[in-house]
Amino acid sequence: MRRIVVVLGIAALVAAIVAGPVAAQATQNRTEFEGPFDFNVFNPCNNDEFVHVTGQVRGFTLEVDTPTDQANAKIHVEVTGTGEGTLGNSYVFSDTQNQQFKEGPPTTFLLPSHLISQGSDDNFVLTARYRLTGNGEYEFDGLMGTQCRG
């Protein structure tokens, strides 16, 4: 009888040791977001041209909460669109970006978009700031600048 009690005690100890790490696993939360954007910008290669930019942003965040209450977040963003200039120039763009944060949304992120001229005008890059909320929504939070790429 004593031998059974010792075996059951060892079995319980092994079960507790195995169950401890299982209970302490990190949890993940994936949130998808998608929506349009629409704004105006000056072409930095030709300051006389005003460009109306429209497009779509979509992506997801992946928040990982560790057993030690540390939060880590990854964001994947895809942006596509077009630009129409007041001088008749057309632009297209499609960019993808991945970033990591020490904590999940709400957060802001910068997204550069490479506007490629469909004619003889120069290409340029615009960098926009977006704010991502905790419920899968995003907001355009301002244009951070443009740069001529020639």
Q: ω before 105 within 30° of 0 (cis)?
A: no
Global confidence as pTM: 0.69
Q: Are the beta carbons of 128 and 110 closer than 8 angstroms? A: yes
pLDDT digits (tens, 9 = 90+) for 122-137: 999 988 888 877 666 7
Q: Are the beta carbons of 127 and 97 closer than 8 angstroms? A: no
Q: Name the range with the highest mean pLDDT among 22-36, 46-60, 122-136.
A: 46-60
Q: pLDDT band for 5, please (50, 70, 90 cuts).
A: very low
For residue 140, CA distances in Å to 56, 128, 144 come to: 12, 8, 11
- DSSP-assigned letter for residue 122: P
